[in-house]
Structure formats: C-alpha cells, structure tokens
Amino acid sequence: MKKRTLILTLIVVIMIGLILPQSFVIPVEKANKSSYHAKSFWFYPWGKSGTHKGVDIFAKEGTDVKSSTHGLVLYTGKIALGGNVILILGPKWRIHYYAHLKDIRTTPLSFAEKNEVIGTVGSTGNAKGKSPHLHYAITTLIPYPWRYDNDRQGWKKMFYLNPIEYM
C-alpha cells in the first residue's frame, strides 16, 4: 500500500507543477528586442558548448537581472562556463538558467517572484573579456520527444526551450 501511495503522491506533484500558470518578463531591466539577436537560440558553432542553447541579452554591467517567472531558487554559485549562475525551478517543471552574472542577489531554496531582482549583468565564466550580458536559458525536466531531430545535438532539443518565444 505504501508504494501505491507514493506513486499517487508523485503523480499529483507532477500534475500540480504542470498546471501552475506561467507568465514571463524579459529578465534584464529595460531590455527589449534590440538587446538580443532573435536567431541566437540553437546557433552553431558556439564555443565549447557546440550549440548556443539560450539567448544572450546585452546590457551595461551591473544592470538588474530579474526573475523571468516565479519559482524556487535551486542553486546560486559559480560554474566554469557560466560563471556566476542562478537556477530557478518554475512552473511546468522548467529550469530557468541565468549565467555570467556580476552579482547574485538571491539565495538557494528561496522563492523568487516574477520581476524580482535576483542579480546583475556581468561577464563571468566564459564571457570574461566579452561584452556584459545575461545568458538566459530554459530547460524542461519533462522531455518533449517531438522536438528531437537529426541536427547537431538534436536530441537535446527535447530539453531546451527557446526563451525568445516566451519573452
């Protein structure tokens, strides 16, 4: 009986995550469509990652970065390519990835509201020496198999969503 209860609980949690409403804002203060290249998502070739799986939103260093949607802050810290990064679990079981930040202004396991300042634009990680920008990407924990194709890294398309379509 315990196994059945656990499975039902898991199904309910997954369903709640999928039905939570979502809405988005551009995550860089005062940014607009001219702040990024509209065809930069899934651009090849792109450095060590091979394919660019997000969008780079350019702004003056220190410009506020806002949470694009509400969610649970899973991680804040440093990684090699992304530099100072934040990961937020939002509605629909999607992870919102904010990279190259100068400053981080949120903490793990806190709840971020849409439009809340979570950091500032920078050039950390593999963006060092380049124009300050926010690398923003959205991944889904639940794969979308219909997005798979034979393109370079095409199997990863099941997990990466084009953030430009949501801004």
Amino acid at residue number 100? H
State how far the Cα of 74 lies from the Cα of 118, in Å rounded to an integer: 13
**97: pLDDT strictly greater than 90:** yes
| Burial classification of residue 162, based on how many CB atoms lie within 10 Å of its CB (0-12 exposed, 13-18 middle, 19 or more buried) | middle
Q: CA torsion, points 70, 61, 40, 106, in degrees to nearest 10?
A: -20
Residues 19-48 pLDDT 10s:
888 999 999 999 999 999 988 888 776 666
Which pTM does this prediction carry? Answer: 0.91
Amino acid at residue number 98? Y
Residue with tokens 């060092």: 128
Q: What is the model's pLDDT at position 1? A: 61
Question: What is 22-166's CATH topology?
Answer: Glucose Permease (Domain IIA) (2.70.70)
State how far the Cα of 58 lies from the Cα of 63, in Å rounded to an integer: 10
Q: What is the model's pLDDT at position 152? A: 78
